[in-house]
Amino acid sequence: MRFDLELPSQPAASHRVAVLLINLGTPDAPTPSAVRRYLAQFLSDPRVVEIPSLVWQAILRLAILPSRGRASAKKYAAVWMPEGSPLRVYTEKQVEALRQLLNVNEYHVIVEYAMRYGTPGIPAMLNQLKLAGAERVLLMPMYPQYSSSTTATAFDDAFAALKRMRNQPEIRTVRHYADHPAYIRSLAEQVRQYWAAHGSPDFPAGDKLVLSFHGVPKRTLDLGDPYHDQCQQTAALLTAELGLTPVECRVTFQSRFGRAEWLQPYTAPTLKELGAAGVRRADVFCPGFTADCLETIEEIGLEVRDEFLHAGGKEFHRIPCLNASPAWIAALGEIVAQNLQGWPVYASSPLSAVM
């Protein structure tokens, strides 16, 4: 897809533009202490856990962090890469690939990333962008579907940082891109590329593609959060793009925490049921994660795989997330470019998929 931007006749060198990719976050190391610090920040966010703070902090500090810190550290250690945390490694690759794409298309913009929890934090990166001369910043969450516990809290953190600035930069936000055609095409291309390399499921024989999204408490849907509906929208568009039917492609939700009801159906029990029902092969893909992380590599690739195989399934495939695939970087560039329109990005030609 190609599109035109309204270009300034005289770009002003002082009006620098920046793109800040925002992801959830990760511990700095796969150790109990580092994981506890990360979880303490993450689980203390009132948008993540909507329980009165005094009650929740007692539970968190006395019961959850001591035990979950050790258990989670073991899981992080199992997926840790030589370069570091998978989420950080893939996010850095996305940043570098997006920089190259924008540079090739003569977009003179700064591209950086921040983590909502952990480092580098959003306030620190906004200050760094200001020091680099950025007067306009596009906040680009790496969450395709909007949720108050992901997108909204990232914006909260950014706006709280702006509140402390005397000379604020101009800010734009990308709320969601759950139905963006380029995003859907990149998802379909990722699945097709995997099937081309590893063989595709035999759908007439009953094999399944499971689309697993991160779960949230069901009460968030009842309170008006659009996340559930946007996940269903993404799944329907991807299913159609792949030429599959709802029978061949299931939608589930993973990473449930606590005793409250979360969005259903749950991923692990669904895979267990499929295995017990005689489904030979199950492929699981996580469209809501733009980069592989603990929840996709360990939870899906190890825990959910074992549930399926132990229940009677014969062949399990975890399709990697978008990461820095050419199709996703092209889609990311298109979404970013559309949201930069009207700003002095110094482009002399419209952005095209050049990667």
- The annotation places the binding site at 214, 295
**Cα separations (Å) of 177 from 54, 68, 143, 223, 335?**
36, 33, 8, 21, 8
What's the token pair of residue 277?
Answer: 């029902």
Query: Dihedral of the CA atoms 178, 190, 112, 333 (nearest 10)?
Result: -70
State the burial class of residue 179 (Cβ atoms within 10 Å of its Cβ: 0-12, 13-18, 19+).
middle
- Separation of alpha carbons 99 and 96, rounded Å: 5
Q: How far is CA 109 from the centre of its chain?
A: 23
Sheet with 170-173: list strands edge to edge: 109-117, 16-25, 134-141, 170-173
- Phi-psi label, residue 198: left if phi above 0, alpha if psi -120 to 50, beta otherwise: alpha
Q: How many CA atoms lie within 13 A of 52 on its CB side?
A: 2
**What is the DSSP-derived secondary structure letter of residue 204?**
G
Overall size of the chain counted in residues: 355
Q: Per 3-state DSSP, what percentage of the chain is helix, strand, and coil (rounded to 5)?
A: 45, 15, 35
For residue 94, which of 266, 352, 253, 330 has the smallest C-alpha distance?
330
Instruction: Specify the 3-state DSSP secondary structure of 116.
Output: strand
Binding-site residues from annotation for Fe(2+): 214, 295
Other beta carbons within 10 angstroms of residue 292's beta carbon come to 22
